[in-house]
Structure 1
Amino acid sequence: MEYQEKIRIFYYICISYIFGILVASFLPQKIIKNIFLFFCIFVLLTSLIFIFNKKRIKLILLIFAVLFFALWRYAFYLPQDTLENIWHYNGELITFRGLVNKEADARLNNQKLEISELAIMSNHTKKVQGKVLVTTELFPAYAYGEELEITCDLKKPEPFSGFDYDRYLARHDIFSVCYYPKILKIKSENKFSLKQNFYKNIFLFKDKMRYLIEGGLSKTEADFAKAIILGDMNAISKEWQEIFSRAGISHIVSISGTHISILAVIVMSFLLNIGLWRKHAFYLTNIFLAVYIILIGMPASAMRAGLMGFCVLWALKLGRISKIFNSLLLSAVILLLINPLLLRDDIGFQLSFLAVFGIVYVLPYIKKYSEKILGEKLANQKILKIIIDVFGITLAAQVFTLPIIYYNFGSISLVAPLTNLLVLWVFPPLMIFLLLAMLVGWFFPSWLIVIFFPAKILLAYTLFVSHLLGAWKYAIF
């Protein structure tokens, strides 16, 4: 079999699987629950591939076999209502114990806790599978790894105000919620696992970093810094979130594939433009991304985003940014094999891949036409080249993501290209200044205001530009 034919079959398999997942996500529950039927059809079609000799028939059978495999995978992933799953008890008043398995998500008036490793307390302790999202008061605070005994009316997540809250939580494997329950902290004698100790130390480290950032910057600057360096999106006030949205730079304060892909390309372009060899820039950028993802607690969204960012960096290392379609397609299939709910229900997943495709396929044309307009000599001057890269990366990403943004949020920022051009170049040095300030501030906490001053200047500039353009009444369409 020739290489081109193998590639063609690879495309058919990947696209058929993705299309199958898309179809499954819109099928009624009565149909999608036919797990056994989908599996039988998949096995039948796969068997027929070995019976027929004609290549075209084999290919058609392969496409439909993969399609029904996708339907089966989606159906198999959906929650099954059994006594061993916590969501079986939705609608009941129950008492259960579990561990806080993530950082508490502190909001303005409450906090949300994700509880796992569950056991229902009745006449006897019964371990069950699943996770519960608990909404409770801001105080007392709860830490990662704490064991809690919770008594509440367990509920199924429900849509509200046109928002599919149930589907939103399902992508995180959460099918049960409870609100303002009675909570009792349990002194657990169980030792933390290696993984739990690792995460606990990361979260303790993040708490220390928050303290340092808050000590060296004003509240608004500190909230912004915590969002971009620690992933604390909820630290930013609703007012500033609206300003960033209107200015078209929400992607820089939310951990997503768009955020990390753009950041990765900008950091690598910055390193290349200051004279590093492509190989060295590639490794340094990957180290930077790894440290950054660990620093924000390695959430699943950041891990997925890191995979996409690596694909783009690999193409930049090879110097052939338009040659990574295969890698991106394979990445999408792998992620959808792990969690098929991502395709329809995770806007971040959709935006991430569209942004990467935009960078891969639109950016080379922007660079090409920039050289034509400015002339090759002028366009390759270091400062101008950095400006072209920043503007091109942002514009390329937004060209592909605009339809999804408009469909989900009902508006598009008209000033986004200008805002991104003015502020995105700041981010490589800003991230470096913040990381260095936190490192030095750890040893010299009494000098925090001085240590954070370089970062403070860049943060103040970014906030000023964002407010200036975001506050314009014609900023959004």
Structure 2
Amino acid sequence: MFAGLDGKSFSKIVFFSCLSFIIGICAGLVLRNALWLVGAVFIFLSLISFLLPKKLKWIVVFSSLFFLIGFIRGDLFPAGRVAGGFEKFFGTDAEIQGMIKKEPALTAENQKIVVALDEINGQTMARGGKILVFAPPYPRYQYGQMIEVSGRIEEPPSFEGFDYKGYLSRQNIFAVSFSSEIEVVREGNRLSLAQKIFKGILTAKDNLRQSVYRYFSYEQGLILGAIILGDKSRLSPELREALNKSGIRHLTAISGMHVMILVNILMLGFLGLGLWRKQALGLTIFIILFFIIFTGFQASAVRAGIMGFLYLFGQILGRQNDSSRAIVFGGAIMLAFNPFLLQDAGFQLSFLAIMGINYLFPVFSRWFRRIPNILELRNALAMSLAAQIFTLPILIYDFGYISLVAPITNVLILPLLPLVLVFGFLAAFFGLFAGIFSWIFVFPCWLILFYLQIVSNFFASLAFSSINLKISCAWAIIYYSFLGFLIWRWKKEHRFLIAGF
């Protein structure tokens, strides 16, 4: 069937099939119960494809087929998923028993506890259902504890411009409880081996967190904790707003943009130190993996890490197209397991930021070649602009604002991100036992964080730092269509490769 097709043609078929699968899932989630229309279009395109040249024919046939499969997957994936028998408890007082399934997210006002349900009012619940319990900041609860919660079970509330119910359902959380009494029934002493290892990681993470808070000011501790440990939920509202306005909030969120910028800066930095390409790749993979482990395997960090590893895999193969195909393939696999990820802003930003850096970083590197690359300044500017151009419509659509000073602040701060990670982790680690000697690492990290605060606060205070803006899906589609056309023209004219490696 594929006689006469070379490896390049086959890889194109795989790429466009995966891309069509992703688009099909998107269409299935939006255009529910329209399978007859999509089926008709599939049959029409399949018939038309036989009039096309052989190589193009198979691309159209398989793209149409995987679009149809993606549409079916998205269409049949339940929109308002509720765990079996859960909805009948909404609005009632109940006694819930279950295990704390992840590290509680702590804020100044409360701690958010995800409980995997075993029983409600003595009734055994189906496996997989979870409830989000809002509890006071104290006493602190821990992963693995078996708890009993007494309180009112509510359906997740709706907020204007934010599908909170959908956001929770993507994590298999189907209910919330705000005013609850909690009793620890059993400590986490009956865990599986994997759960015990994970609990040990969270214990080590908490020790590092306390070390950070011991050596840095309150605000600096929150920023460093978010960067090296993924503690973004602990940022104060005022600090979040300042970081948003200055355009550097992504530094405190474990996303594809964060990981990809870190990957590129590490790679280029290691190569600049004279390491071989494989040595630089190995060290970069080790640091990223280590980073993901000490965030507690947060879902966003794991997804971003997978995207980053796929990007590096493409780099090992040595061509830009290999990176983009690996990223699209990884995205299609993740969406096949959970189509709702496509509605997750974190997944959208991770995927688009990586694609942006992959395609536009070489373009901006070419344009900015006259700028000195001291401390990776030129590369930081190129990566920042590449990621922001690809993620701009999603940021505006999901969050309703745009930072006008982000290109400047990212150039001023991004080159220092690896130093914050290295000095921050070493300061936290040696702070556990080295006493005064830990200041060898604490002081340079303190200087960088102090500089970050000055930059962030100054640019956030400017009246024009950010503007509120609303766009529709139609504008986003037009934007990405035009962007795709420009990239195609640039590639055709310049045949660029990934700059630097």
* TM-score normalised by the chain length of structure 2: 0.83
Residue number in structure 1 paired with 2:366: 368
Query: Contact (CA 8 Å) 2:15, 2:329: kept in 1 or not?
Result: no
Q: Which amino acid aligns with 1:24?
A: G
Q: Distance in 2 between matches of 1:274 and 1:239?
A: 39
Query: Contact (CA 8 Å) 1:84, 1:129: kept in 2 or not?
Result: no
Residue number in structure 2 paired with 1:405: 395
Please tell me whether residue 16 in structure 1 is matched to residue 24 in structure 2: no
Residue number in structure 2 paired with 1:111: 111
Q: Distance in 1 between matches of 2:204 and 2:232?
A: 18
Compute the displacement of 1:405 (Å): 1.0
Aligned Cα root-mean-square deviation (Å) = 3.0
Residue number in structure 2 paired with 1:347: 345
Q: Distance in 2 between matches of 1:249 and 1:317?
A: 30
Query: Contact (CA 8 Å) 1:351, 1:404: kept in 2 or not?
Result: yes
Compute the displacement of 1:319 (Å): 4.8
Deviations 1:221-268 (A, max 9, x none): 111110101111122221111111111111100111111111111121
Q: Which amino acid aligns with 2:416?
A: V
Please tell me whether residue 476 in structure 1 is matched to residue 466 in structure 2: yes
Residue number in structure 1 paired with 2:330: 331
Deviations 1:244-298 (A, max 9, x none): 1111111100111111111111121111122222111110011000110000001
Q: Which amino acid aligns with 2:70?
A: A
Q: Report the more deviating stretch, 300-309 or 8-17.
A: 8-17
Please tell me whether residue 90 in structure 1 is matched to residue 90 in structure 2: yes
Secondary structure at the aligned position of 1:421 is classed as: helix
Q: Distance in 2 between matches of 1:434 and 1:270?
A: 18
Compute the displacement of 1:101 (Å): 0.7
Residue number in structure 1 paired with 2:220: 221
Residue number in structure 1 paired with 2:70: 70
Query: Contact (CA 8 Å) 1:216, 1:451: kept in 2 or not?
Result: no
Alignment of 1:23-422 (within 5 A): 23-27=27-31, 31=33, 62-78=62-78, 84=84, 86-87=86-87, 89-122=89-122, 125=124, 128-187=127-186, 191-343=190-342, 345-371=343-369, 373=370, 383-384=373-374, 386-422=376-412
Compute the displacement of 1:447 (Å): 5.2
Query: Contact (CA 8 Å) 1:224, 1:235: kept in 2 or not?
Result: no
Q: Distance in 2 between matches of 1:83 and 1:468?
A: 48
Q: Distance in 2 between matches of 1:183 and 1:317?
A: 51
Q: Which amino acid aligns with 1:27?
A: L
Compute the displacement of 1:108 (Å): 2.2
Compute the displacement of 1:365 (Å): 1.5
Q: Distance in 1 between matches of 2:61 and 2:312?
A: 36
Deviations 1:61-99 (A, max 9, x none): 654543343233234542787884545543443322110
Distance change (3 Å), C-alpha of 1:90 and 1:68: farther
Query: Contact (CA 8 Å) 1:413, 1:475: kept in 2 or not?
Result: yes
Q: Distance in 1 between matches of 2:284 and 2:193?
A: 28
Query: Contact (CA 8 Å) 1:87, 1:130: kept in 2 or not?
Result: no
Q: Which amino acid aligns with 1:471?
A: S
Query: Contact (CA 8 Å) 2:420, 2:445: kept in 1 or not?
Result: yes
Q: Distance in 1 between matches of 2:312 and 2:61?
A: 36
Distance change (3 Å), C-alpha of 1:53 and 1:281: same
Secondary structure at the aligned position of 1:138 is classed as: coil
Distance change (3 Å), C-alpha of 1:134 and 1:272: same
Secondary structure at the aligned position of 1:97 is classed as: strand
Compute the displacement of 1:16 (Å): 2.4
Please tell me whether residue 443 in structure 1 is matched to residue 395 in structure 2: no
Q: Report the more deviating stretch, 72-81 or 302-311.
A: 72-81
Q: Which amino acid aligns with 1:222?
A: G
Q: Distance in 2 between matches of 1:81 and 1:240?
A: 35
Q: Distance in 2 between matches of 1:81 and 1:437?
A: 44
Secondary structure at the aligned position of 2:132 is classed as: strand
Q: Distance in 2 between matches of 1:385 and 1:229?
A: 21
Query: Contact (CA 8 Å) 2:146, 2:188: kept in 1 or not?
Result: no
The percentage of counterpart residues that share the same residue type is 33
Q: Which amino acid aligns with 1:454?
A: P
Deviations 1:81-138 (A, max 9, x none): 788454554344332211001111112211111011522333x655544111111222
Query: Contact (CA 8 Å) 2:424, 2:441: kept in 1 or not?
Result: no
Q: Distance in 2 between matches of 1:352 and 1:83?
A: 29
Distance change (3 Å), C-alpha of 1:452 and 1:85: farther
Distance change (3 Å), C-alpha of 1:214 and 1:80: closer
Distance change (3 Å), C-alpha of 1:189 and 1:426: closer
Q: Distance in 2 between matches of 1:91 and 1:76?
A: 29
Compute the displacement of 1:393 (Å): 1.0
Compute the displacement of 1:423 (Å): 0.8
Please tell me whether residue 461 in structure 1 is matched to residue 451 in structure 2: yes
Q: Distance in 1 between matches of 2:23 and 2:217?
A: 48
Q: Distance in 1 between matches of 2:326 and 2:224?
A: 33
Deviations 1:167-216 (A, max 9, x none): 11122121222222232210268621012101111111111111111111
Q: Report the more deviating stretch, 278-287 or 156-165.
A: 156-165
Deviations 1:31-62 (A, max 9, x none): 38x9xx99xx79x98xx99xx99978887665
Q: Distance in 2 between matches of 1:248 and 1:189?
A: 41
Query: Contact (CA 8 Å) 1:423, 1:462: kept in 2 or not?
Result: yes
Query: Contact (CA 8 Å) 2:132, 2:177: kept in 1 or not?
Result: yes
Deviations 1:141-166 (A, max 9, x none): 11110101123332222321221111
* TM-score normalised by the chain length of structure 1: 0.87
Distance change (3 Å), C-alpha of 1:178 and 1:129: same
Query: Contact (CA 8 Å) 1:12, 1:63: kept in 2 or not?
Result: yes
Secondary structure at the aligned position of 1:458 is classed as: helix
Q: Report the more deviating stretch, 392-401 or 132-141.
A: 132-141
Q: Which amino acid aligns with 2:433?
A: F
Q: Which amino acid aligns with 1:7?
A: S
Secondary structure at the aligned position of 2:112 is classed as: strand
Query: Contact (CA 8 Å) 1:265, 1:313: kept in 2 or not?
Result: no
Query: Contact (CA 8 Å) 2:368, 2:382: kept in 1 or not?
Result: no
Query: Contact (CA 8 Å) 1:85, 1:130: kept in 2 or not?
Result: no
Q: Distance in 2 between matches of 1:347 and 1:138?
A: 27
Secondary structure at the aligned position of 1:359 is classed as: helix
Q: Report the more deviating stretch, 180-189 or 166-175.
A: 180-189
Secondary structure at the aligned position of 1:452 is classed as: helix
